[in-house]
Amino acid sequence: MGSLKRGRPFLAPRDWVYLASLLVPLTIYKLVLKYAGLASTEESLGLLGALGLARSDVLFSLGFAVLWVGVFSLLRRGWPRKAAVLLLHVSAALIVVLSTCAYQYFETTGSSLDYEMVTFYLASLVEVQGAISSEAPAYIWPMLAVAVAYAIVGPWLAARLAYRITDRRRSPLVNASEIRPRKMWARRDFMVAGLSAAAGLFFMNRSLIFAGRGAFSGDPVSNLLATGMQGVRADAAVEGLEITNPLARARLETTARTRRRNVVLIHLESTRERSVTSYNQDLQTMPFLDELAGRSLLVERAYTTTPHTSKALTAINSGLYSHPGTGIIEAQPGTIEARCLPELLGDHGYRTAWFQSATEEFENRHQQVKNFGYEHFEAMEQMEKSGFEKANYLGYEDDIMLEPSRRWLEEDLESPSFTMYLGVTPHHQYLAPAGRYGREHFSDDDVLDRYLNSIRYDDFFTENVINLYKELGLYEDTIFVIYGDHGEAFGEHGVTGHDGVVYEEGLRVPLVIHDPQRFTSGERIEGPANLLDFAPTLVDLLGYEVVDGEYPGSSLARPLPEDRTLMFSCRPDLLHLASIKDHEKYVHNYDKKPDELYDLATDPLETRNLMHEMSLTEHEARRTELLDWRARTIAMYGERK
């Protein structure tokens, strides 16, 4: 017993001080961010509910602490101790950065910062810096800098201060009596270190089980690990699948109905149907489009496929679902094996052009447009910017495209043309230029009011495009498709933006097909329809026939199949999947929170989750259907991720 008393303790007092001065503030910092995020949701969960949301964070922090106690008890001196200390500080700094980023991401979007989004942001940091800087408040950067600085040097300063205080009292934190020959304590140290490591890993593993509230439940590091492992499991379902692209060898043949007419796609960025006058008469955001819809085909229930621009553009131009993954693989060379609509029409003498008021650099848009088969591409970099205002961090107001497109059209007015006008004005930050068309008061909420005014701007832009075709004598022989690529959320279901929003505010879009030679009495179809229907509709309206291929979508000029199922993915991947059959909408949440079921006929705002009414058998069938669809769609794009 005497030798044990004289022997070295499990961990030297100075080590306890060193570890506590890092791990305790680190845990407090993470919990403060957690509850700051909770406060921003304006949810009343009560004490137990709030504590439940911190379960994953507490378990991870406990496991992290116990693991490092074991490491410090084993590695006492020399280069192993120095390497351990270095690794401790690096990991702590990374946890600080990840926790801060996860907090700010949740504040901005209402969603968790998953593995897929982290890898995407790291790979596209130059592209996304505008979005990051526009949302990050001024205080976040100094707060992050101070926290990282403390994680690096704070424990060293705290240990030195504690040593000086105890040394003045002639009771040093570490003295010679604590040291015993290594032969006497090696076995015990290895046993203690092993138990500590096992306990630490156990607690961190338990932190991967969230409290069932999805985005807000998991510790940031645990959520990153859990979604990363989930991605590995999901990708395993793709292995061995060989899916033939149904449009790889497709071509168009003329028929007796063929008419070589112009086609114009007017892209309303981030525009949800409930904010457009034709779908909501209480909002006079787009009176011109509303009047035009009275002489057009309007789809009452139109949906995007994925609430993200580059993904939606793939569906529009190819007629196929985009890759469900988070990365924009459709903007890589050779990834779209289908023959897209611009290429198919190009075979029949169509001139094809793409104009966009956004930068060509974002998400490698130039390459994506090339993959679609457009001959002419012009982005804001090639346009005259004098007299035009910035609309957001992505580009300029949409009227900047009018003159460049006029010049291109005037080069050959005789040949039919297929033209895309990709606007960007209603995109976040919602900075509709006030000088050109003024602004109206739509909402007391400043952000929502700016968004609605940005949509109002595009009403003028839409009218300007149509007037351009009238001035050039092309109007009567042109089909105009005016559509939203995805919606936008403003906290209706606790989320904002669009990437991860599978609720109606994120998926429902306006869709108007204006043909001066057809639909002149104003036709309406209920739907549901989605962006996959664009290509077969235009092929049908132009009178062509698809051979050696088949579109999965349907022509909106004909009765839609009654038993069709629409599928939806979102970004990040593995956050949600959804499907709609008639008015029944099912949302799969990958076990981050309970799945959801809504009756859109009686509950269009999705306020009542009816999942308890679905049988286990049907639930499993709907979930399997979605997961199988995801795997088959990825397999159609090959192994590219």
Query: Looking at the structure, do residues 201 and 256 belong to the same domain, yes or no?
Result: no
Query: Looking at the structure, do residues 624 and 528 belong to the same domain, yes or no?
Result: yes
pLDDT of 227 reads 82
Query: Looking at the structure, do residues 212 and 260 belong to the same domain, yes or no?
Result: no
pTM: 0.87
**What DSSP string runs through 171-212?**
--SS-GGG---HHHHHHHHHHHHHHHHHHHHHHHHHTTS--S
Q: Which long-range contacts (CB under 8 A, 24 or more apart) does 97-102 make?
A: 97/144, 97/148, 98/220, 98/221, 98/224, 99/29, 99/30, 99/33, 99/220, 99/221, 100/33, 100/140, 100/143, 100/144, 100/147, 101/220, 102/33, 102/220, 102/223
For residue 348, the one-letter residue type is H
Query: Looking at the structure, do residues 524 and 602 belong to the same domain, yes or no?
Result: yes
Domain boundary among the residues 207, 236, 265 is at: 236
pLDDT of 593 reads 84
**Residue 246 located in a structural domain:** no
The encoded tokens of residue 511 equal 């869709």
CA distance 328 to 525: 32
**Residue 416 located in a structural domain:** yes
**What is the 8-class DSSP label of residue 364?**
G
Domain boundary among the residues 191, 212, 236 is at: 236
**Residue 244 located in a structural domain:** no
Q: If you search the block for the tokens 């609720």, which residue do you land on?
A: 503
pLDDT of 214 reads 53
Radius of gyration for the chain, computed over Cα atoms and rounded to the nearest angstrom: 29
pLDDT of 343 reads 96
Q: How many domains does the structure of the chain reveal?
A: 2
Query: Looking at the structure, do residues 329 and 219 belong to the same domain, yes or no?
Result: no
Q: If you search the block for the tokens 């679905």, which residue do you land on?
A: 614
Query: Looking at the structure, do residues 196 and 156 belong to the same domain, yes or no?
Result: yes
**Residue 348 located in a structural domain:** yes
Query: Looking at the structure, do residues 288 and 225 belong to the same domain, yes or no?
Result: no
List, run by run, the mean pLDDT of 10-residue segments along the chain (641 residues).
Answer: 48 82 90 77 56 80 89 82 90 92 82 82 71 74 89 84 65 42 57 80 80 63 84 83 88 95 98 97 97 97 97 96 91 90 96 96 93 96 94 94 98 97 95 89 95 97 98 98 96 90 97 95 94 97 95 95 94 92 95 92 97 96 96 82 44
Q: Say how many residues make up the chain.
A: 641
Query: Looking at the structure, do residues 223 and 285 belong to the same domain, yes or no?
Result: no
Domain span including residue 603:
251-636
- Supply angle C-alpha 315, 319, 322, rounded to 5: 35
pLDDT of 158 reads 80
Query: Looking at the structure, do residues 277 and 230 belong to the same domain, yes or no?
Result: no
**Residue 152 located in a structural domain:** yes
Distances (CA, A) of 538 to 263, 266, 284, 469: 8, 14, 29, 19
**Residue 241 located in a structural domain:** no
pLDDT of 219 reads 85
Domain boundary among the residues 206, 236, 266 is at: 236
- Supply angle C-alpha 344, 486, 421, rounded to 5: 50
**Residue 245 located in a structural domain:** no
Query: Looking at the structure, do residues 189 and 296 belong to the same domain, yes or no?
Result: no
Query: Looking at the structure, do residues 357 and 504 belong to the same domain, yes or no?
Result: yes
Query: Looking at the structure, do residues 431 and 503 belong to the same domain, yes or no?
Result: yes
pLDDT of 9 reads 59
pLDDT of 184 reads 44
Domain with residue 508: its CATH number is 3.40.720.10
**Residue 243 located in a structural domain:** no
Cβ neighbours around 620 below 10 Å, total: 11
CA distance 27 to 29: 5
pLDDT of 8 reads 54
Q: What phi and psi values does residue 517 have, to the nearest 5 degrees? A: -105, 5
